[in-house]
Amino acid sequence: MFTRRSLITAVAATAILAGTSFASAADKMYIPLVSKGFQHQFWQAVKAGADKAAGEFGVEITFEGPDNETMVDRQIDMLAAALAKKPTAIGFAALDSQAAIPLLRQAKEAGIPVIAFDSGVDSDIPLATASTDNVAAAALAADKMAELIGGKGKVAVVAHDQTSRTGIDRRDGFLNQIKAKHPGIEVVTVQYGGGDHLKSTELTKAILTANPDLKGIFGTNEGSAIGVANGVQEMGKKDLTIIGYDSGKAQKEAIRSGLMAGAITQNPVGIGYETVKAALEASKGKSVPAAIDTGFYFYDASNIDNPEIAAVLYD
């Protein structure tokens, strides 16, 4: 039986070798991106931007991220593997900056430039950060909400997370703007659905049950926004203003159908593109700006098909 097992393993190992030998054959500049996620459409759009830059500048990239945003140690392992490949530069979006510091120091000692992206890295090692100004973007959502509900009434927030930088910034950006600029509006509750569609749906239904006179809900990421739309639909509510965040097929359709009033979109493609571009420039010794604002937009049924907006939306 030993031979059979060895055979199976040998076949597996050969398959691995055959499948990847071309990867090591090319001796191009190599920039791995270690992301906070991988499966969500948002991250795939960041990857698409990185791929675009890779094609344009003739560098090789890889894009990896843990299954969910709690797996801090898995991300550290990914960073370690990326360093082992002796890359030209590294793009990194930290789940927890502190946890990554020993490896970032290692990169610095090896002279590998680090470019932070998305929520950035809380350290002075990264030379630049390519990200959305989430506080300003959520404040824009608050202004749009106020405009749409006529400046007064009750609203709620369904947020994706209370520990991550983006979760905190979007929540506080929205809440602070309401408090500062729109005194007629009361935020009755902030609930956290982990960005999970189903959980956010249930949360929304509970919020609506508790507050039948609610005027609007802000969902802070793709999963939260879709959950809010689902919940409102399941409850059969009509005159409610929903503002979402990011895009994706379901959210775009909800906006086209009028179920959702509109959403903030970041520029994920731009985040990926700018990260690779900055990494390449830093590796050549050029100076890069410390903060690269990749921008954000508010879109609704009226401008969803504008070329400028359509370019940053993803399905």
Partner 1 sequence: MTAAHATKRSSIFSHLIDTGAHQKMLAFASLILLLVGFSIASPNFMQVSNMLAILQATSVNGVLAIAATLVIITGGIDLSVGTLMTFCAVIAGVILTKAGLPLPLGLIGAIGAGALCGLISGTLVAKAKIPPFIATLGMMLVLKGLSLVISGTRPIYFNDTPGFDQIARGSLIGEIFPAFPVPNGVLILFIIAGSAAYILSRTVLGRYTFALGSNEEAVRLSGVNTQSWKMGIYALAGGICGVAGILIASRLNSAQPALGLGYELEAIAAVVIGGTSLAGGRGTIMGTLIGALIMAVLTNGLRVLSVAQEWQTVVTGVIIILAVYADMVRKSKTG
Residues at the site binding partner 1, with contacts judged by CB under 8 A: 1-2, 4-6, 8-10, 12-14, 16-17, 19-21, 23-24, 32, 38, 60, 62-65, 67-68, 70-73, 76-78, 80-86, 96, 98-99, 101-102, 162-163
Give phi and psi for 111, each to the nearest 5: 70, 25
Residue placing its CB nearer to partner 1 in the complex, 2 or 286: 2
Closest CA to 315 of 236, 222, 241: 222
Residue placing its CB nearer to partner 1 in the complex, 5 or 238: 5
Give phi and psi for 162, each to the nearest 5: -105, 5
Residue placing its CB nearer to partner 1 in the complex, 47 or 215: 47
Least CB distance to partner 1 at residue 250 (A)? 22
Residue placing its CB nearer to partner 1 in the complex, 42 or 299: 42
Closest CA to 140 of 244, 46, 213, 215: 244
Least CB distance to partner 1 at residue 51 (A)? 12
The total number of residues shown for the chain amounts to 315
Least CB distance to partner 1 at residue 2 (A)? 7
Distance CA 269, CA 44 (A): 9
Least CB distance to partner 1 at residue 195 (A)? 12
Distance CA 123, CA 102 (A): 11
Helix and strand totals (H; E) in the chain: 11, 12
Residue placing its CB nearer to partner 1 in the complex, 1 or 124: 1
Residue 306 has, within 13 A of its CA and on its CB side, a CA count of 10
Residue placing its CB nearer to partner 1 in the complex, 11 or 310: 11
What six digits make up the tokens of 202?
């249930």
Least CB distance to partner 1 at residue 206 (A)? 17
Residue placing its CB nearer to partner 1 in the complex, 85 or 249: 85
The bridge status of strand 262-266 relative to strand 296-299 is antiparallel
Residue placing its CB nearer to partner 1 in the complex, 136 or 198: 198
Task: Note whether 137 and 296 are within 8 A (CB).
Answer: yes
Least CB distance to partner 1 at residue 262 (A)? 30
Task: Note whether 263 and 138 are within 8 A (CB).
Answer: no
Least CB distance to partner 1 at residue 20 (A)? 4
- Across the chain, the runs of DSSP E, i.e. the strands, are 30-34, 60-64, 90-92, 114-117, 128-131, 153-159, 185-192, 214-219, 241-245, 262-266, 291-293, 296-299
CB atoms within 10 A of CB 231: 26
Least CB distance to partner 1 at residue 32 (A)? 8
